[in-house]
Chains A and B, each alone.
Chain A
């Protein structure tokens, strides 16, 4: 078991961390700040496993600072609130997503777009203003400024609701920003994983017609029978792709591997929009011809601000939307990561932190 030297006027915390590029997680003692006037302390009950966790664990994006405790789909119970905290009380069901800090003064922060603040502090693998590292939700507790804490609606299950804090807001925010919520319009969801399956549910709640676009035929039955998609398009079948040309108003591209954009752009109608949220780490090939001749656009989007994240949680609670999860113990996390790398999960692992994390 490893420890850090960052103790002192901080409080003890315990979690699982990776210490090198193998990405293997193991028990880890560290420290967090004491609960300040603006802070809420959470006892963590569940934490979703996002594919970004895996990328960071293995330093695939090149900016990992080890040791790293991942996890940014965190739900739990408030155990302490600072004296300036008005929105939360001890005992409240609360959540923390992808960010735990921002500058609070720039244009983005003032417009409730803290996620685009140039000084954003991520929930893990980031640095606080005092120079200490941030550690994520694969741990027993976390201390967060009230601005970055969400209220978890009563009828949203804590375990299946955890993935909404990254996957849910990523999908919801991108659809709202790009105007992809008009009832009756046709949305294609490319990729059926953590993001994709939540996208189908949220899109149906907006009244859209939804087609899942995937290269795996075995996802067709899932997509239509279990998730409620209206149809399925097999992207590896050229004839099917040809007949789908110009049929969709929007495409939400959740695929994280590098992939060609031209087939997807062809499926869009004129003025169609392709929004990529899958964070592929190699550049995509962008054919300009379909953009110019069809006035199409390719845009990106990245989680959402705090106000919108709360709005998304309330929307999901109202429409009974939660993720499809596989609950695991913390000591199963390394196996889960191996399976995640092969996309062998329907559709999000969630760590039962409250019942399985102990020293």
Chain B
């Protein structure tokens, strides 16, 4: 087991990657004392996001090792600081992708902490005190109250965990781009961790949902399990042609799908929302954009206020992620399977 010299007063234990192989192994570290605005909690479940896979292997070049991943974290409060108002010991709470921001810029004052230039990621980032943040693949966390959300009783904790990144990542753009009105026709490209939740949220908002996929293999799943209204195989020219100009909006999680066919599927004034980031720029034909007054927009997670709103919406509408719960020591095998897309649709580690 690897460990760090203890810079903080409380012992903590997790699994960390120590180099770009990305292999995780047991790791001892420490968490800070519970400050006056902090919430300390025992981690019960942690979802595995594809970003975790990129980070443990340093795909983006920003990783700090040892790296304890995990930013879809749920647990039970064990201690609260003297100025904490929203939570008490025993509460069910969650933490997503952020644990800090500047609190003073335009974005922060507009509940858009996720776009703050000084936003602090839940793991692999430098906290205000200069120490490195460690994520939810661990047994305990201490987080500023501002970045903690409450999980309602009727949401099972394991199925709620993925909402903290995947859920908010699809909920926020559906609202922001106005694709949340009953009767609109929304397409979802890519049926994985994000995509399956996009279908559920969009349906709950009253839209008609079509899953767009390159293969027919997920059709039964999409229609029977996830509740999509229809399924379009984008490689079948007849299906594609028949669907031209029929979508009010399309949310694409897939990073590599060419944009031109998707733009063609949109009605005039339609919106294409991209959530996946490909390595190279995409080709954007300007004519269809101009002639149909269409737009391509992006989005990244959501602010804290909206994240809580999303959790409450999910609780109200019974929206849960479809998960495969695993033990912590299965995590490396899970990462290998995730790389191949072999999961329906999120691994969630039972950390206790």
Report A's interface with B, CB cutoff 8 A: 108, 113, 116, 118, 177, 261-262, 270-271, 276-281, 283-302
Contacts and interface: CB of A to CB of B under 8 A. Distances in A.
B154 interface: no
A299 B281 contact: no
19 contacts: A116-B293, A118-B245, A177-B293, A262-B281, A270-B115, A271-B115, A276-B289, A279-B286, A285-B281, A289-B277, A292-B274, A292-B299, A294-B298, A295-B298, A298-B295, A300-B286, A300-B288, A300-B289, A300-B294
B300 A292 contact: yes
B291 interface: yes
B290 A293 contact: no
Contact of B292 (A261, A284, A285, A300): A300
Contacts, number: 111
A298 B300 contact: no
Contacts of A281: 287
Given A283-B285, A285-B284, A291 B274 contact: yes
A261 B283 CA distance: 11
Nearest to B116: A270
A298 B296 contact: yes
B259 interface: yes
B327 interface: no
> Which interface class (under 10, 10 to 19, 20 to 34, 35 or more) fits B?
35 or more
B275 interface: yes
B334 to A, nearest CB: 25
A285 B283 contact: yes
Given A270-B106, A302-B291, 11 more contacts: A116-B269, A261-B284, A276-B286, A283-B286, A286-B259, A286-B296, A288-B282, A292-B300, A296-B297, A299-B289, A300-B293
Contact of A300 (B107, B255, B282, B290): B290
Top-5 shortest CB links A-B: A291-B298, A300-B289, A299-B295, A297-B297, A300-B290
B278 interface: yes
Nearest to A295: B299
Contacts of B84: none
A297 B281 contact: no
A302 B300 CA distance: 29
Interface of B: 106-107, 112, 115, 176, 245, 255, 259-260, 268-269, 274-278, 281-300
A288 B115 CA distance: 16
B115 A276 contact: no
B296 A297 contact: yes
A353 to B, nearest CB: 28
Nearest to A279: B290
Contacts of B260: 283
| Most chain A CB neighbours (cut-off 10 Å) among B291, B293, B296 | B293
A278 B296 CA distance: 16
Nearest to B285: A283
Given A108-B268, A292-B300, A295-B115, A302 B277 contact: no
Contacts of B296: 286, 291, 297-299
Contacts of B281: 262, 285-288
A279 B107 CA distance: 33
B298 A297 contact: yes
Nearest to A284: B284
Contacts of B115: 270-271, 293-295
Contact of B289 (A113, A177, A289, A298): A298
A302 B290 contact: yes
A286 B107 contact: no
Contacts of B274: 288, 291-292
Contacts of A285: 281-284
Contacts of B287: 279, 281
A291 B290 contact: no
